[in-house]
Structure 1
Amino acid sequence: MEKAVFVALDYANEQEVAQLLPKLGAAQETYLKIGMELFYHSGSTLVKKLSEQGYHIFLDLKLHDIPNTVYHAAKQLAKLNVFCITIHALGGSEMIKAAKDGLIAGTPAGQSVPKLLAVTELTSISDSILQDEQNCQLPMNEQVVSLAQTAQKAGADGVICSPLEVENLRSQIGSDFLYVTPGIRPAQTSNGDQKRVATPKEAKEYGASAIVVGRPITQAANPQMAYQAIKKEFN
């Protein structure tokens, strides 16, 4: 996997996406993250359209259900020719394995099986929320490692984690695993609702495989310039 910078398309509809895409550059060189809001509005039609145009799609729906349901959901998503999909590691090893099996079973001949990335703890979760609301007695770093180990053993290709956790994960899990990090903010920009953040340069130094960036690109005066600057800093 190349050192991709996924642009988070946190938009409500396809029309807003259409206004942004020409400002990002060539489709074959552009990585996009489609999350729940946009998918629930425009569905698989938009995903297929962008994939056929050459965009690399990170479909971020964070599957979390009983294993049988997740298997059939992943089987359907595999038909969309996306680069990767996400599930919640908190769903357990049986669910993670079911997702992987579904991706393999659903991928059409001649296409690559989408990468399966397991979400550890969301970057909006703080240590106090982990302890007081999730009732987890492990420190954040240990909790993330535990979830990542579960995901790896169950067949996931990588994890979604905070950039601050990548170094520790690499040392305990290894380099033959993907570490994709949201919570990326260029220096001197607002953290928004993210609590565990890093700059693109820091994410590179920590060893992130790919990063996800939203508002610093999509809300920039010149999105293409912002995108290229972040890609240059990360690579």
Structure 2
Amino acid sequence: MTETARDRLIVGLDLPTIADAEKIVSTLGNDVSFYKIGYQLVFAGGLEFARDLAKSGKNVFLDMKLLDIDNTVAKGVENIAKMGMSMLTLHAYPKAMKAAVEAAKGSDLCLLGVTVLTSMDEQDVIDAGYEYDPHTLVLRRAEQARAAGMGGIVCSAEESAAVRKIIGPDMALVTPGIRPAGADKGDQKRVMTPSEALKAGSSHLVVARPIVAAAEPLAAARAILAEMNGALAR
């Protein structure tokens, strides 16, 4: 598991254009080494940008949340592994995870199981037809991800401590919905500060809007890194 804040901070490039993303990456320079690319940027040419970022020495977390029939998931994972990505998400359904793990064998791609989206609360989960509350569903999927041989889990920092007990010390535990003290929660419902999340057992923190939408993104990133380093030093 990584030890420095720079290794653990993943900046979410949730931006409308490649030009916007390039500007943020240039602004953050060597202070940030890990970036997340999701749907918004992928559908604006982000896959080629992801390849270029990886070739430049950055770590790239491709947040595609794959879910399909086993063969389709496997073929997608095989090609994503060839792109030089560091992390890839898929929904934590047992069959999909098993197919992805088999397809990623021999590569350095860390597969992450998405448990319950941090924008969802108990009523949202009920409305989606699940019989479990968010916490119970997260823990169930964490157990299934570990059994499938996944590289890690994505969950809210609120569940990090409980999930860490299930998955052990070696799997990655990636938490979005990170908000520095006083920051706007936006559409996130289950959030924590960076230091709280690390103390709870998270290995990597995904931070998007508090950095990329800040008036001074580099200063915002440095403040979060400082808070994370302080937590790691304790």
**1:81 and 2:84 matched:** yes
Count of residues paired in the alignment: 225
CA shift, 1:79, in A, is 0.8
CA contact (8 A) 1:48 1:81 kept: yes
TM-score, normalised to structure 2's length?
Answer: 0.92
1:139-158 alignment runs, 5 A limit: 139-158=133-152
TM-score, normalised to structure 1's length?
Answer: 0.91
Poorly superposed stretches of 4+, deviation over 4 Å? none
The equivalent of 2:119 in structure 1 is 124
1:53-202 alignment runs, 5 A limit: 53-89=56-92, 92-104=93-105, 107=107, 113-131=108-126, 133-202=127-196
**Unpaired stretches in structure 2, ≥5 consecutive residues:** 230-234
Taking only the aligned residue pairs, the percentage that are identical comes to: 37
CA contact (8 A) 2:155 2:173 kept: yes
Q: Which of residues 191, 202, 206 is equivalent to 2:200?
A: 206
CA contact (8 A) 1:203 1:234 kept: no
Give, as a single letter, the amino acid of the residue that structure 2 aligns with 1:192: G
CA contact (8 A) 2:65 2:89 kept: yes
CA shift, 1:43, in A, is 4.1
CA shift, 1:129, in A, is 1.2
Distance 1:44 1:220 in 2: 25
**Unpaired stretches in structure 1, ≥5 consecutive residues:** 108-112
Distance 1:127 1:152 in 2: 24
Q: Secondary structure at the match of 2:105?
A: helix
Give, as a single letter, the amino acid of the residue that structure 2 aligns with 1:15: A
**1:19 and 2:23 matched:** yes
